[in-house]
Each structure stands twice: as structure tokens, then as C-alpha cells.
């Protein structure tokens, strides 16, 4: 990926990051809904993962990790996008994605293939 100072190659992450709400299923007891309502903010790393899905659309974990690496490389080179990506490992990235399922992200019901040919869940924003 070629970059020059002050240029951004690819879509910018949304700014400002919206603050997704915690969620409870309709079938959950009232206490679960109360707990979900008490969560005011997701951590920055969780917001960042949701922002990637909002920006790039439906993706498997592998594709989302690839997009994260592209965004992080550009950020380190030219200081963009305006919402700084969060440094994390592939395992940490999958953990953050798992944490936001039901809080702005959901299983699309579709499967994609990884680079090794294995089936993988395609995730999508639920908002």
C-alpha cells in the first residue's frame, strides 16, 4: 500500500465513533435488560472493532483482521484516519469481536471461506 503524507487510501473510519449500547434478548429476564441499560460505553477497542464492520461491511474474522492491519499500517505511516486504530493481536481482535456480538454486531447467517479453505462465520452490523 503506497501512501504519502496527508493522503488516505481507502475508506475512513466513521467519526465520531457512535457508542453502541449493550443488548439483551427479548426473551431475557428484566434483570438482563436492566444490566444492559446500565452499560454506558463500550471500551475503545470494542468501538474500534464495530467501526471496522460499519466501514467495510460484512466480513469473516480473517477478513476483518486483514482490514485492521491495513488501517493500522496507514495510521502508523501518515497518522490517519482520525479515529486511531487500537493495537491488538489476532486473538485479541477475535475476543473484541466476540464481546460485541449482540451489542451492534451479529452473525449474518452466512459462511465464507478462509485463506486455507475453511468455512467461517460472516459477521455484520445489526444497526
The angle at the Cα of 17, spanning 36 to 7, to the nearest 5 degrees, equals 160
Domain holding 73, by residue range, is 30-125
For the chain, the domain total comes to 1
One pLDDT digit (tens) per residue for the chain, 127 residues: 444 333 444 444 444 334 444 566 677 777 766 666 655 567 788 888 888 898 889 999 999 999 988 888 877 676 555 455 678 899 999 999 999 998 889 999 999 999 999 999 999 998 6
Let me know if residue 69 belongs to a domain.
yes
Interatomic CA distance for residues 58 and 51, integer angstroms: 12
Going by C-beta distance under 8 Å and a sequence separation of 6 or more, which residues neighbour residue 63?
Answer: 56, 112
Let me know if residue 5 belongs to a domain.
no
Let me know if residue 67 belongs to a domain.
yes
Let me know if residue 18 belongs to a domain.
no
Let me know if residue 13 belongs to a domain.
no
List Cα–Cα distances, 54 to 28, 37, 48, 49, 82, in angstroms: 27, 22, 10, 9, 15
Amino acid at each position: 500500500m503506497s501512501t504519502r503524507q496527508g493522503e488516505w487510501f481507502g475508506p475512513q473510519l466513521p467519526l465520531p465513533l457512535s457508542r453502541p449500547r449493550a443488548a439483551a434478548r427479548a426473551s431475557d429476564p428484566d434483570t438482563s435488560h436492566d444490566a444492559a441499560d446500565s452499560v454506558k460505553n463500550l471500551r475503545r477497542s470494542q468501538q474500534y472493532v464495530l467501526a471496522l464492520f460499519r466501514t467495510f461491511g460484512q466480513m469473516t474474522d480473517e477478513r476483518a483482521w486483514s482490514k485492521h492491519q491495513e488501517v493500522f499500517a496507514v495510521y502508523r505511516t501518515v497518522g490517519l484516519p482520525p479515529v486511531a486504530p487500537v493495537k491488538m493481536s489476532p486473538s485479541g481482535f477475535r475476543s473484541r469481536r466476540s464481546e460485541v456480538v449482540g451489542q451492534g454486531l451479529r452473525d449474518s447467517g452466512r459462511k465464507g471461506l478462509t485463506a486455507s479453505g475453511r468455512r467461517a462465520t460472516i459477521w455484520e452490523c445489526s444497526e
